[in-house]
A = this chain, B = another copy of it.
């Protein structure tokens, strides 16, 4: 009947299974079963499991852009930016756990199309972040490559934090504040580094 309806059911079912399975090992029959649909129905929406994966990647990064916008909202001095960013990141990871776990895991996926898509999106994300950095007083005079470098370092830290958060959330939730503080420290370290850095 409603095409988009079962499509969503397939995506959600897949995302649910991907909680403790890798995309590489995700069976078409499993997904359709989780979606409450006949196996053959899968092919009305995707050709292969890879396509399903690509859609999930796209979805995940849509939420990442949401994150960016939220974080940009309250911008004061550097320290506030850091604390605010981390708070927003934590809240976001918490409410989109499945998507974050998925991209963290499939970042090195043997399914090349998915791996490449994720890498491309992360690169894009870092570029956007670097244009934001260009507006800050400390880094406003830096040339583009240096901005990208710093943005890459920050994004790497974010990915790492997301990974830690997911683990902590499902294993020892009471240790969450600890992760938050750790991340803020590291981020502060990176931003202090900017004051000592001589760009070329």
Contacts and interface: CB of A to CB of B under 8 A. Distances in A.
A192 interface: yes
Contacts of A108: 101, 104-105, 107-108, 163
A185 B149 contact: yes
Given A22-B109, A193-B197, A196-B196, 8 more contacts: A24-B24, A24-B25, A101-B108, A105-B108, A105-B110, A150-B189, A152-B186, A153-B190
Identical subunits present: 2
Contacts of A196: 192-193, 195-196
A198 B152 CA distance: 23
A47 to B, nearest CB: 20
Q: Rank and list the top 9 A-B pairs by shortest CB-CB distance, nearest first.
A: A193-B193, A196-B196, A25-B25, A105-B108, A22-B24, A24-B25, A192-B196, A22-B22, A20-B110
Interface in A1-54: 20-22, 24-25
A182 interface: yes
A177 interface: no
Contact of A22 (B110, B150, B153, B182): B110
Contacts of A105: 108-110
A21 B110 contact: yes
A134 interface: no
Residue with the highest number of chain B CB atoms closer than 10 Å, among A24, A108, A149, A196: A108
A160 interface: yes
Q: Which of A105, A157, A198 has the most CB of B within 10 A?
A: A105
